[in-house]
Structure 1
Amino acid sequence: MSGATHLTAPGARLHDRAAELAAVARLSAPAGTGAGGILFVTGGPGEGRSALLARAADGFPGAAHRIAAPGHRMPWSGARALFAALAPGAPDARRALRTARGEDGVAAAVSGLLGDLPVLVCLDDLHLWDAHSRAALAAAWRRGRAPGRRGPRWLVSAARHHRLPEVPEAETVRLGRLGPEGARALLGDLCGPPPAPPVARRLVEEAAGHPGVLVAAARRLAPAQLAGAAPLPEPPVDGAVLTEVYGGFLEHLPADSRRLLTVVALAGRAGEEGAVTAARRLPGVAVDAVLDGARAAGAPAEPLDGLVADGLLHRADGLLRFEDPFLGRAVLASAPVSRHHGAGRTGAPRPARTASALVRGERHRADRLGPPAAVRALTPVVRGRSHLVRGLAALADGPVMDAHEALLRAAELLRDRAPAEASDARFLAMEAAWAGGDVGACLAALGCGGEAGGTERDFLDGLGAALAVRLGEARPALARVVARDGAEDDPRLLLRAGSAALVLGDTAAAARIHARALARARAERRTALLPRALEHLAYAELRDGRYSRAARTAREGLAAAELTGQRNAAAHQHAVLALAASVAGDGPAVAEHAGLALGTARPHGLAQAATLAEWALARDELGRGLAAQAAARLAPLVRAGPRGGHFALRMLVVPCFVEAAVASGRAAEAGAAAGEYAVWAAQGVDGPAPALLARCRALLAQGAAGGEGEGAAYWFGEAVRRHDGCGNDFERARTLLAYGTWLRRRRRPGAARGPLRDALVTFERAAADGWADRARSELRATGGAGGGTADRTAWGLLTPQQQRIARLAAQGATNREIADRLTLSPRTVDHHLRGVFARLGIRSRVELPGMARPDPPAPAPAQEGGTEAKGLVSSRARRSAGSS
């Protein structure tokens, strides 16, 4: 595909939506003429629910708020997100929510928050909100007055299968597919110039009126393909297109429902070859065959009635088929490859491995060889260990979800016969799924623990509860893992304990425990384990804000990974190095390490490494003032679903996205992300999160008020206060830089100098040269010490090390002589001197003699200074004598 942009945004035009737009117009009509206070909009994935909400918000004559579903379904998470979006700076409103009891209490708090305000509240994806918040919202809607009242209007979208609450006088519209003319008009809006008529006809036919599918199919075409000069992909609507449209929907279905849909899709794919037009449905399959296939695949059949009742499946005359043919094909496209090969017409497993291939641990080839009797002749332990070998090979240098499946199978086979090996396989399967960003696969690995007890039971239960967002249940179990395994000397158990500490948000403990695991692996000369131990330690140090140490560990881990051929571990270390380089402001290093990380992460499905690398690139862009480019890169990373960022990193990326989005005019997206971040920050699993949340709110208030409101001042002050004691000095310095910049732009240079000086010193200590340059530039703009005017009062603000270096430089010592004297490297001396110049407001070392102060009394400063000078003069004399 060409790198040129050839698709344009659809803009405000919505095609074939006259009835829906009329309903929105009725909702938005002035008080006294409206037909109701709430409008529900339902539709399938990609059919335009969010576009309709955006159109309504843009066209509403008063204040409008768009609120996305929270990323987690913790009880009341939706209500908290609603209040965070509607009243970000109103402590009374937040207090009312905290003190509310039950659904009626929260409903009253919602009604009290909005009162008679003539606002439009657009809630997207109601089906993804937690049940408690949905019930409270329904109660609040029922409390409303008669139609035509003054007060809030609600526009609420939900998936078609979601059961809407019963609200008197509410109106519901159901989005459908586009007609041919509407589809062609949408295609014309998307493409410039318009596609060739044969291409347009083919795309419209394949998309079958589905707007999301049409957009996704057209977006991936090169200009030559749109012009008809190059052939279209076959089929134009393939699995990648359908996964883009339906992937998020499938991701949010319950795991058992997804598995049963996969069985139905696999059972119905028989005889289907090559291109499939949208008009053709997957063949109907007998209900009994589906039930047999579900039993064989270990999928429960209980969700079947619910899937039929929700309209996802259609049952008639003993046959099942997908109501939406695109959904059936999307299920097939997103099903693991092993399930495609492991199911026939009825979804039953098809073993096809030979004994010799299993024992050798050969991947892929064993899947094509028979007979199954040879496999059954092997003992479960031999088969389990062969799967373990295959899984370890894929985990080191292959697709991580292949590793997950092999390791999971190994754990099942070894569970009753080699429990220690089964435990290792289970933990590694979870690690593989974690690296791939698949929560369901992580839970599958944790759920096969069988009769595990003690510490392992705590680990399985605690991590499973954390992934299911039941943190109250997760914390005590994981804390016991940290306490027990943290006292062990087995590196395997230490790695487990360190992972538990990271999930609890105790990054310092995680770094300490992983350092012990590394030491034990070295002591036991477990060369193959070293890259994993170093990978865990580098990530823990990164999370703890110790970027220099993380970079040092990552460089060692990279060498160990390359020595042992573990490219997946190497990709993770490259990603850590890219992030560390983004802190230092080393753009070329960021690009190099991020590119190397992504080169392995993308084909091997390393979602965690890919997210870290993309984050590093965006941070570098933001540091260079490319806010719009950074926001565009970060937007997918903070989005939930299969095409979003890694589930454990999404929230960590949000503060960076909010900063970039506000600076580039994407305040609505920034506000939605900050609302979700507020819910997450309240869970207490990340130390700096409360401070970063306050910074996000300050930036949002700054953007909303055009920089003139006092809300920004309040939140900046809160952010600085909350940073104290939570670690991560680099993020504190970024907050101070943002605060000082805001103060300077409000023409308060005197107040700005303090935060900017503190930020500058911290950036210099962290060797964050790019960020230090930004702070120095802002400080210079205030007319302060960074502006080239000597500040004779600033000597006391230098660190003791900076003072020692400055005195020696004032006496005429070179960087090399100072380095020899203080046992430093010349590069470190140069770095400190640049910080000294910036702090004192001077431009070169020739100005130092007039700025330097003597050492404090005791021991006698004059003699000590003289000794230093004499020693330096003597060393020069000796070198001169030697050279002569």
Structure 2
Amino acid sequence: MATDGLLGRHVECEVLDHILGDIREGLSRTLVLHGEPGIGKTALLGYFGAQAAGCRVISVVGVESEMELAYAALQQLCAPMLDGLASLPAPQRAALTTALGIGVGPVPDRLLLGLAVLALFADAAAERPLVLLVDDLQWVDESSVAVLAFVARRLAAESIALVMASRVLRPDTATLPTLEVRGIKPAEARALLDSALLGPLDAEVRDQLIAETRGNPLALLQLPQRLSVLELAGGFGLPVAERLSEAVEDSFRRAAESLPESSRRLLLLAAAEPRGDSALLWRAAARLGVPPDAAAPVMEAGLAEFGTRVRFRHPLVRSAVYNSAALTLRQQVHAVLGDVVDARSDPDRRAWHRARATAGPDDEVAEELERSAERASARGGLTAVAAFLERATALTADPGVRTRRALAAAEANLEAGGFQAATELITVVERGEPTAGDRARVDLIRAQLNYMTDRGRDSPALLLAAARRLESIDPVRSRATYLEAFSAGMFAGRFAEGCSRSDIARAARAFDRPRLGDTDDLLLDGFVALYLDGNASATTPLRRAVDAAADEAAPDIRSLWLAHVAAVQIWDDRGAEELALRRLMRARSSGALGGLPAALNSVIVWRTFSGVPAEVPALLQEFEAATGDTGGGLAPHGALIAAAFRGDRSEFSSLAATAKADVIRRGEGVGLTICEYAQAVVHNSEGDWPAAMATVRGAAETLEDIGASAWALGEFVEAAARCGAIDAAAHAVEKLSEMTGAAGTDWALGAEARARALVSDGDDADSRYQEAIERLERTTMHADLARTHLLYGEWLRRARRRTDARTHLRAAHERFDAMGMRAFTDRAARELKAAGSSTPKRVGTVSPDGLTPQEAQVAMMARDGLANIDIAARLFLSPRTVQYHLRKVFTKLGISSRTQLHRVLPDTGD
């Protein structure tokens, strides 16, 4: 296909042509073009749009001055498709209309909003393929980028192409398919340069220009215009030391400066108003006395076009014109634009223009910005809230009001991830006139900043101090902060500095808080009892908290997590798994994007413990996508434990090295315990007991990490007993029994019986193994049950009871094989061979007939009776993508309908 005059872009155009071919065949594709300014990204987007005959093409350009306006780019992209709003499910429609400012509702969560945009795009593409082009992504507001990245990761079979261009790869799009656009080759560069020259050029000068521009097309076209005939002939004055983008911008600046005064004023107006609204521009121009014929010289110079919309030749023209103008001129055009923007239909843009026009304190504009922040908050535009409040603070003269706004801006920046700005703003608060309540909120912000950026070490102490200070000022927030301090203490574990969890518990017990009787109250009581009075005293209040969380209609994500932790502490396997699943469902259904990765981590762990392997690969895939959506740095504990149980040493080693270094750096003691526990599982599965014992010794001596400490003790007991270190193993058993005896559940007592069997002999060992199997059979802990059969079978073989040994070893082998626990399966096979039995044929039905993880997940949901639209909502896909996956499932499994899925898919129930 012809490259439409794009010299040297055959490879890039071929990639784009393939994308067009795919979307015309019903598939979806995403691509991020990236490269330095002027390298040709915009031209490639233009080529792609021009080649998209028969497709619906919608484009948007990011503008630096709009980066603070929440969903500004998304609004422009969605505007031509808003006739499809009626077909969206009500929650999605409400989220989208609220975000775009055309409706009123609760703050839309980005996950729900992402689903709405995905559905809107998919519906639009049902008529004809949809091409979405986003230029200058580096200047698109963060809210829009987050939604577009979410959508991009879920496009599959909707006939949609989303192609974005950026100078640099932004973190939230770095995992998407990319294509770096580089300089064109010397031969094409010479041809392009020659096309821009008006006269002959010295050969050495030509080579110098080509070398310095590194094949950058825009530079090749613009830089010769900056040099005189003599300079071109002799090579003097070449911009050897200039940065390329600055040199190109400078060429545009010079071209603008050569225009008549009225044309320069018109160009600055256009640069200051990024939406390209011609009607608005000419209203502003009239107020400045700029005549309509001022546009002609601009267009003749090739800098911009004035039609139904204003379009700059290149984004660098806009930045060159705007940044080179004097501050007073920029303020003047913003003031005029603020006057002509409709205050009713677009109050936020009006406020922003007025704010940029204001040099000193202005209470009226500051109040207007504060109202804009409230509207942005209602739309869920956290970065916009922070930006409006920060600017409002700067324009506020009254010390008390300035302090209030600075504190609100700091909290908004904290929530939006603007940690540096939050730090600077609390300094403003402290230098102002803060009340006692303000100081308490500053303490809380500092503590939360530490927790969010470091996660461990001194975060518990800082949150404890904040909770104490809030007691008399805001008792409800104080209670929440005490629970947050417990959370931080649980993460920090052995690395905590400045206070222990017992210190937090003593302060919380002394706090005479208002009793609300909800899950949070019960959790606080339970954790206080645990860290002050011990396991026996904590069991009852923690049990009440777990029950309350299960019964409460809508506990928040944090409360569900703490209730899950409580269930683990009291060895309630079913409660722990149910709360983990409920937390995941809440995150999915409510669109709580921030809580999704952690919820997935928990479910992956419990599905692994429960021996439900078919679901784990899809959950792992969803975890990776969710961490990409949130940009979170959460350690992949679920993936680590799943890899350890699968016996996938290569994958485990790669995960463990990164995870261990990360948790040590951040000071997450519980993360280190989990890493050591998982490593011990790998060593024990391979029969390398000395390595397992050495690996998990430190974790076994750390008893404060809920769940992880007990699991580590279990691995240590097995390793030490098999190494002959019976005294060390017996000591660990007594530590374990302090936890299990207080809980008294089948899981707890089964784990204790197995541990005692490992340090016992004769009939005592025999009876304890049998008790462990009997108790664990009544739990969901199928991996634990299989390991107990293995240990009992090994003990029986050593006791020369080979017939009995074969029974339990065979049971262990079958269970391990079904659960995909390869290393344990091999260990059981070796023991069976030593016991005089042949090894059963491996079954391994984790992912039948080569289904991908996502196909398996879709297939199992369809098998369980969910409709495509329900599967799409749960997995954050479009219904067309679900149908696409199901067609592939039917082909791979050799079936023709959903009703046949029960026959061919493995049962993953408990």
TM-score range relative to shorter protein: 0.3 to 0.5
The TM-score with structure 1 as length reference comes to: 0.44
Structure with higher Rg: it is 2
Q: TM-score when scaled to structure 2?
A: 0.43
